[in-house]
A and B are shown apart, each in its own frame.
Chain A
Amino acid sequence: MAVTLTINGHAVAFRPGQTILAAAEAVGISIPTLCHLKGATPTGACRICVVEVAGARTLLPACSTPATAGMQVQTESPRVVEARRLVLELLLSSGHHNCSVPRDRDADWTDFQLTVQAEDGTDRLCPVWGDCRLQELAFRYQVDGSRFPATATIYPTEMANPLIVRDFSRCILCGRCVQACNEVQVNRAISHGYRGAHSKIVAAGDRPLADSECVFCGECVQACPVGALVEKKARYQWRPWLSEKIRTTCPYCGVGCQQWLHVQDGRIVKVTGVEEAEPNQGRLCVKGRFGYDFIYSEERLKNPLIREEDGFREASWDEALDLVANKFKQIIAESGADALAGVSCARSINEDSYNMQKLFRAVFKTNNIDHCART
């Protein structure tokens, strides 16, 4: 007999050591989370995942409370919903989180957005509008930040590096970035700093990322559930409703990380790791996450080139390929096929290497084909 607990009236089996959250997720019961980062130590910091447990004095965080046999859990009881609304209202009133539901419900939506943008000091919509966990939950629980006085943001946005924007006005101090940095990638560059109203996620000594241990893997950006950490290159470019996600494999080292290419109008605007995919489990490095835009360089070769006395001239494919074929034919006729040699590419796709060795073996009739296999 498996051990069970009861969630919303349903008997749910669990493994000893599993949390209420894990047991619920295993059977498809969704409990909202904000600070929870799969695979990292639960912190129970945000209190969004609280549930009602019969006999417990208070509501308990599902992410960090172990399931026990016979436990009676309610995940969306009135008490739970009330608590979540309060948590959300407090979060929404701290900093710039005024995107969710118009506080003046009679106001025009456009007017509302203009007001919001004016408050943010930017003329553009929040960079993660439509892809924000806090916004999603505010909508789900129909709350806004008007109940409590708004808290002023005391830390300016950090733009002082080429890749990651840190907008502390949108940070909810959930700590997911800290866990991503310390427990997932284990780069140990950022942690919680200061106390109380002065709390801030800091790199050592509260220095800018560029002057810290940060290696710009961007795992923190991927973990951020709000708009506090965003990719500088994608900021205000990428919009979830305009972009298509295409899965691919990273073009750099031999780990073969799985990436989502976020593509708008046929152009990659952002790259993220594919969560729970082999081999990288959502992780990427600085090259995998930020090293995609070389393909749009103006310096790309766009036409075949043929050498003239004083440099290259553009040519058609037919002219260039005829030249290559004729010259190779001449060399084979004069000196034999072994007077040709080829080096294939260890960065390009399998099918390219296959065709190149086939060209050398089946067409030219030489085995002089190699690549940088050993380096």
Chain B
Amino acid sequence: MTNSFNEMARAKMLMVIGSNMTEAHPVAATFVKNAVLKGAELIVVDPRRHKLAEMAALHVPIRVGSDIAFLNALMHVIIAEGWQDKRFVDSCTVDFDKLAATVMRYTPEYAADICGVPADMIRDTARRISSVQPMMLCYTLGITEHTCGTHNVMSIANLQMLLGNMGVECGGVNPLRGQNNVQGACDMGALPNVFPGYQKVTEAAAREKFQRAWGVDGLPEANGLMIPRMMEGLVDGKIRGFYIFGENLANTEPDIRKVEHELASAEFLVVQDIFLNETTRFGHVVLPAAAWSENDGTFTNSERRVNRVRTAGPPPGDARPNWWIFQQIAKRFGQEWASNSAREIWDNEVSVLAPQLCGIKYHRLEGDGLQWPCPDENHPGTCILHRDGQFTCGLGIFNPAEWTPPAEVPDDQYPLVLSTGRRLTHYHTRTQTGRCEGLNDLLGEETADISMPDARALGIADGETIRVSSRRGTVTVKARVTGEVPAGMVWMAFHFREANANWLTNAAFDNITMTAEYKACAVRIDKLTEKALG
């Protein structure tokens, strides 16, 4: 996030796109709702009329995967009406002409056909978001989990730069991160192209810096593989040894049948986790790890805030901290790593090597933590990025994008769109929440959420067991007939192994980030005959 959570409660205009905040980020949603109670205007752009839409002045139910057409049409209207922030565009950005040329074709009428909403609703949205400055824009995986995810994000950045909403309080581009420490794992360089602090592995100076710090030579020069390519490598033998730490890939990746084939092909698979799960079934070695609250450390949240995690009690049996396990493997390769606690790792290595984190030391994290960039120990941290229109690369560059449809769209055989996400009570594959007293009682099984018109057309009653099929698989699941879901859509989560949406999802990826298109694939639903019910 370029901005911070507390600004949501003070914002005057908010647009939430592709984000079911009340369920996926419930506490963040409370701040948005507080703002609305104080008079702020909220616009929710989402195919589903989810809970937050009830609080919105306007809910724009665009079709799944039509985000770029919608955003480009907003910018078309804004430029046509001259509502852009001309001062910001002139002084802080480049390539406005390229943007204007691209969005020229995206008239509200043209976009209306793609998005499935009236052209006047697009004009109305453009007028509303241009009439109050700044507008705070929040998004989540509804934007990124598409084959055009990168272009979706660029289009959002284009809109916020056009409106001059960057670098100001209660503005910005604010992706809410799904996992507690997904920001941190990126910051730490658990990515195939960067060292800690986003220093590129392809740059000789960065490699030299880390070679000196780590006392090694020959750090690899080429970018590594992203997860989907690693998994494919298991099948063709390019990847022979695979090490999975704390991810239940067998349930979370699209197209479970394909994923399990890949995992089963692994010559040597090491899985490090706190429970046996669907992924450990394929492991050759399973290493027992300490869990949250069983060792000290730090998490970094969506607003780049580094906060402490503390020990409440010891791990069970012989389970050990994850950092210790990695250190012990290094030792068997003849490397003695000096840092012997999370605090030593952070204070003596991470915050020395990552320029954004140099000012963050454990002794400064006793209270509310610190938001990076925090370049030195006297720095108070940074709540808002790109202050005064200063971007990392100097001027903000407009990167216009063309709309492209999802990789798989409905047809006669599979006439509905399946979109997926998370529900409030559970988290991901339930390895944790499924083992908490009470939570399974609140939500004990998966449902396929379908619209009333589709239910009526197929004669399906609420709670009836139905079959949902895609080109990749079939699940039987209870139907939940709801007004949240528009006609033509099925919505499911991936919390339960039975009826997990990922039996159906499509392993099509964004070319740049290799993010899978969890939000769109084609499915059909069938009523189960008496016979099939057996």
Chain A residues packing against B (C-beta within 8 Å)? 161-163, 183-186, 215-217, 232-233, 246-258, 261, 263, 266-268, 277-281, 283-288, 290-295, 297, 299-307, 312, 317, 320-329, 331, 334-335, 337-375
Contacts and interface: CB of A to CB of B under 8 A. Distances in A.
8 contacts: A161-B441, A253-B24, A321-B332, A324-B270, A331-B241, A349-B184, A350-B187, A355-B345
A347 B312 contact: no
Contacts of B436: 290-294
B30 A186 contact: yes
Contacts of A368: 192, 224-225, 230, 239
Given A348-B246, A360-B224, 12 more contacts: A162-B439, A185-B33, A249-B180, A255-B301, A285-B424, A287-B439, A300-B274, A321-B325, A363-B333, A368-B192, A370-B224, A374-B515
Given A186-B33, A294-B432, A354-B189, A302 B427 contact: no
Contacts of A286: 26, 424-425, 439, 442
Contact of A355 (B141, B177, B322): B322
B292 interface: yes
B342 A349 contact: yes
A306 B271 CA distance: 11
A340 B220 contact: no
Contact of B345 (A247, A251, A351, A371): A351
A159 B434 CA distance: 21
Contacts of B312: 246, 248, 261, 263, 266-268
Nearest to B224: A367
A297 B433 CA distance: 11
Contacts of B201: 361, 367
B205 interface: no
B286 A312 contact: yes
B82 interface: no
A367 B432 CA distance: 30
B101 interface: no
Contact of A347 (B144, B246, B437): B246
Given A302-B317, A348-B181, A375-B515, A354 B284 contact: no
B65 interface: no
Nearest to A214: B442
Nearest to A328: B241
A337 B225 CA distance: 12
Nearest to A323: B285
Given A233-B438, A291-B432, A353 B184 contact: yes
A266 B314 contact: yes
Contact of B330 (A288, A317, A363): A363
Contacts of A257: 27
B284 A268 contact: no
Given A250-B180, A279-B6, A371 B190 contact: yes
A286 to B, nearest CB: 6
B313 A266 contact: yes
A331 B268 contact: yes
B37 A186 contact: yes
B147 to A, nearest CB: 12
A321 B328 contact: yes
A292 B293 contact: yes
A107 B438 CA distance: 42
A72 to B, nearest CB: 33
A375 B181 contact: no
Given A253-B179, A347-B180, A348-B322, A339 B442 contact: no
B141 A301 contact: no
B74 interface: no
Nearest to A266: B313
A354 B196 contact: yes
A281 B442 CA distance: 26
Interface string B435-460: 11111011000000000000000000
Contacts of A215: 22, 26, 424
A279 B4 contact: yes
B219 interface: yes
A353 B188 contact: yes
Contacts of A317: 318, 320, 328
A216 to B, nearest CB: 6
Nearest to B366: A247
A344 B144 contact: no
Contacts of B323: 349, 351-352, 354-355
Nearest to B371: A278
B319 A300 contact: yes
B332 A325 contact: yes
Contacts of B149: 374
Contacts of A183: 34, 37
A287 B427 contact: yes
B244 interface: yes
A186 B309 contact: no
B496 interface: no
